[in-house]
A and B are shown apart, each in its own frame.
Chain A
Amino acid sequence: MCAAALLPVSDPIETFLEQDQTNSLLRFITCGSVDDGKSTLIGRLLYDSQSVFEDQLESVTRASAGRHAGPIDFSLLTDGLRAEREQGITIDVAYRYFATPRRKFIIADTPGHEQYTRNMATGASTAELAVVLVDSRKGLLPQSKRHSFVASLLGIRHLVIAVNKMDIVGYSRAVFANIETQFRDFLSRFEKIETYFIPVSALAGDNVVLPSRNMPWFDGPPLLEYLEEVDVESECAEEPFRFPVQRVVRAGDGFRGYAGTVSSGSISAGTPVTAMPSGRTTTIERIATFDGDLNEASAGQAITLTLSDELDIARGDLFAPVNALPDLAHSLRATLIWMHADPGEAGKRYRLKHATQQVWASISEIHHAINIHTLQPETATRLEMNSISVVGIETSRALWFDSYQRNRATGSFILIDPATNATVAGGLIEGPGSHTRQTKESLLRDVNWAVKNGSLVISVPGLAHETDLSALDYRDALEALENLLNLLDVQVSNEQRDD
């Protein structure tokens, strides 16, 4: 009989709710190749942590009749869609949820097929940790390298290498040690990565939730315990304050505020900040929330800021510390993960969404692609589905940004095909582009100013486009002027900004 059951339990639910006060959230991805047993591992984590309900289990037991695998096919717990069940493969990112008394977990379950790099990148984009599955019989395969590379590229700093199917190799310490040595050698090229190697059998349950009796030579914690304890304290708390404005909020009593989520760092009332891209400096007056004003807010909090003076601030603008501004440029260098069957091409125009701003953008130059098998650079003329390439990007107006490696939120963007509205790529900013841009002041010298029929008309040489400024108010006029400069800037003559 279980001894714990004999202990008097005073008020279990109050104890639970109290414990829950310290509960944090860990997001991780699992990646592995087709037969690495990834779905089985996740099914085992869910099942052993009692996150699977009986009726779901019954439905799975019914469905697994006729398929191979053990008494319960754990992989069926996670293969959601009919299309997949028919093919027996996982084809898209699925999110799973489970909790222990110490932590809540969100798993992004990403398929391991070569053609699905895009899914792994999607799952990794919000994860803090990656579990890479390796088949003990196959050792370090190109896929495992690829998974580690993509995880590291997307900014994941914690890698767990789970060497699975240890039961099939007789729980051999030598097999595990050999894979660990090879893998460590490979991983040494990535900076700032913390690794944990663990031998498991997802099917038999060794080292998943409970320590394995079959591998007494391994003295590390089992997988679940490691996941409960690993410290993934976010680096973005240490980065400078970044607050992309999501919406301007106006309320009846003359309230004017700027709603958004703190991307990094923290802010307190009374602090001076610079608004980008205008460069004007102001002071934070209040941090307003439904639950009352705050003295301070930090990364991850959704708040509304008011300013001590009236600046013209719009969605897409950014507040940053006066002495730690992000980059501001029309041209940037970025890594693109191409996610659509229509290939990306230099010169083609896309909508670029970065934090809360949207601009027109084009790929100005494809520097090189990264061969996903050798991880070596190679030349490329087009961006194919699931390729990873380093490119130059030109935008219709200047973007503020940080490098992705410093700040995921202000260093990432997506590209949208304006014809289909499909998300075609995810972008990780490296920094400002090498291309030297003319400043707006020098561009202004090229603008023709004229009075026609009593109106002030400005035009840009080489562009069949004129704007009548006298019919517009001040802000519209500035915007029209900026539009003209942008047109000149990216050599686009036929479309206005539409954001």
Chain B
Amino acid sequence: MSSTPHLRQLEAESIHILREVVAECQKPVLLYSIGKDSSVLLRLAEKAFYPAPIPFPLLHVDTGYKFREMIEFRDRYTAALGVKLIVQTNTAALKEGANPFEWGTQRCCGALKTTALLDGLRAGGFDAAIGGARRDEERSRAKERVFSFRDERGQWDPRNQRPELWNVFNTRVHPGESLRVFPLSNWTEIDVWEYIHAESIPIVPLYFAKPRPMLVRGEALLPIEQPFVPRLPGEEPRLVKCRMRSLGCSPCTGAIRSDAETVPQIIEELLATKRSERQNRVIDHDQDGSMELKKQEGYF
């Protein structure tokens, strides 16, 4: 299947953004999450800089609780692409016993994701961090800029964003300040899948349905990769045919029941679905507007 007109348009705009980052920023890095959006970003970066190699390193914030299959995919795929991979983990917090059940989701995310991310950016001296976030993911992201300014503490001020006109991007920052850059801003979840299909882009097998052991709690399917996931009295994992709609930490990413074993079947499932992609992520349900709070604190 070849690309559709609207995918070619989105692709060209994203390539323009990636080239603009490299042309104007001192030291960019790509925040690699291993998910489908990251896979798309990598393909776009290959295209943007062809025939030269991808000119920036990848930074993966590894909480220690990612799915085993994600880490295997990460190491295999980045090695095949020949890109430099930096892995950042908040080992101190892990030693203190950080996990979402002991610490609560907010505090655990704060330590393992936000702190590790800011540490990784500071350690590398990066002034621009390219991410795969899309505006259609969550309501607070609908107003995010393509080039989003962060102050010295890595924080985002929703009331003080630079206006962004045409595709003339203001990339200027003072020392210590930085930019988050979102080349996939205008893509939707369906666009991402159609592009993966059209371009045959490799993705983590967790996206495809197969029988997996899960704790079944009503509608929710909880993966049991981490031993600390608490069980109800008498509760045993069951084999359920399911897949992940978005990838995060295994204790906080719910699976969905699914028969979709191919990309077209996933697209078909999405067209029929009534639930948004982040719904199975536990993190968004702490309180209304919680993503916006996390962003103000520096979470991606």
A interface vs B, CB < 8 Å? 12-14, 16-17, 20-25, 53-56, 59, 62-63, 77-83, 85, 91-97, 99, 104, 106, 109, 118-119, 121-122, 125-126, 246-247, 249-251, 253, 255, 257, 259-261, 288-291, 300-302, 304, 315, 339, 351, 353-356, 408-409, 412-414, 416, 421-423, 426
Contact = CB atoms under 8 A, between A and B. Distances in A.
Nearest to B47: A290
B233 to A, nearest CB: 29
Given A80-B143, A301-B12, 17 more contacts: A13-B271, A17-B197, A56-B139, A77-B139, A95-B185, A104-B6, A104-B188, A122-B165, A246-B23, A250-B52, A251-B51, A259-B48, A353-B168, A356-B23, A421-B172, A421-B173, A426-B166
A20 B4 contact: yes
B142 A96 contact: yes
B277 to A, nearest CB: 8
Interface residues of B, number: 67
A85 B5 contact: no
Given A16-B268, A414-B170, A255 B161 contact: no
Contacts of A304: 50-51
Nearest to B159: A83
Interface of B: 1-2, 4-6, 8-13, 15-16, 19-20, 22-23, 46-52, 135-136, 139-143, 158-159, 161-168, 170, 172-174, 177, 185-186, 188, 190-191, 194, 197, 264-265, 267-268, 271, 273-276, 279, 288-289, 292-293
B292 A82 contact: yes
A125 B274 contact: no
A24 B6 contact: yes
25 contacts: A13-B264, A20-B4, A20-B194, A24-B6, A25-B6, A62-B288, A80-B140, A83-B159, A122-B164, A126-B165, A126-B167, A251-B51, A259-B49, A261-B12, A261-B16, A291-B47, A300-B9, A300-B12, A302-B16, A302-B48, A412-B165, A414-B168, A421-B172, A421-B177, A426-B165
B163 A56 contact: no
A250 B50 CA distance: 10
Q: Which 7 A-B pairs have the closest CB atoms?
A: A53-B276, A302-B15, A13-B268, A80-B139, A290-B47, A290-B50, A94-B142
B52 to A, nearest CB: 4
Given A416-B172, A426-B163, A97 B188 contact: yes
Nearest to B272: A12
A9 to B, nearest CB: 11
B143 A92 contact: yes
Contacts of A260: 19
Majority SS at the chain A contact face: mixed
Given A80-B143, A82-B292, A250-B52, A339 B186 contact: no
Contacts of A413: 168
Nearest to B43: A290
A246 B188 contact: no
Given A20-B4, A53-B276, A95 B163 contact: no
A247 B16 contact: no
A246 B274 CA distance: 42
B19 A246 contact: yes
Contacts of B194: 17, 20
A421 B177 CA distance: 11
Given A17-B267, A288-B50, A119 B163 contact: yes
Contacts of A77: 139
Contacts of A421: 170, 172-174, 177
A249 to B, nearest CB: 5
Contact of A22 (B5, B15, B50, B163): B5
A85 B142 CA distance: 14
B135 A97 contact: yes
Contact of A99 (B13, B163, B188, B265): B188
B200 to A, nearest CB: 12
B142 A95 contact: yes
Nearest to B136: A97
B22 A247 contact: yes
Nearest to B170: A423
A83 B157 CA distance: 11
Given A17-B197, A81-B140, A302-B12, A247 B162 contact: no
Contacts of B174: 421
B163 A423 contact: yes
B41 to A, nearest CB: 14
B147 to A, nearest CB: 10
B13 to A, nearest CB: 8
Nearest to A125: B165
Contacts of A13: 264-265, 267-268, 271
Nearest to B164: A122
Contacts of B141: 80
A164 to B, nearest CB: 22
B142 to A, nearest CB: 4
Nearest to B194: A20
A301 B1 CA distance: 20
Contacts of A291: 47
Contacts of B267: 13, 16-17
Nearest to A98: B188
Nearest to A417: B172
A351 B172 contact: yes
Contact of B166 (A21, A94, A408): A408
A315 B276 contact: no
B46 to A, nearest CB: 6
Nearest to A85: B289
A249 B23 contact: no
A246 B23 CA distance: 7
Contacts of A56: 139, 276
Contacts of A355: 168
Nearest to B276: A53
A109 B143 CA distance: 9
Given A53-B274, A351-B172, A125 B23 contact: no
A93 B231 CA distance: 45
Contacts of B190: 99
A37 to B, nearest CB: 19
Given A53-B279, A409-B166, A249 B49 contact: yes
Contact of B288 (A63, A93, A426): A63
Nearest to B171: A353
Contacts of A81: 140, 143, 158, 289, 292
Nearest to B134: A97
Nearest to B141: A80
A414 B276 CA distance: 36
Contacts of B167: 126, 261, 409
A17 B268 CA distance: 10
B27 to A, nearest CB: 16
Nearest to A123: B165
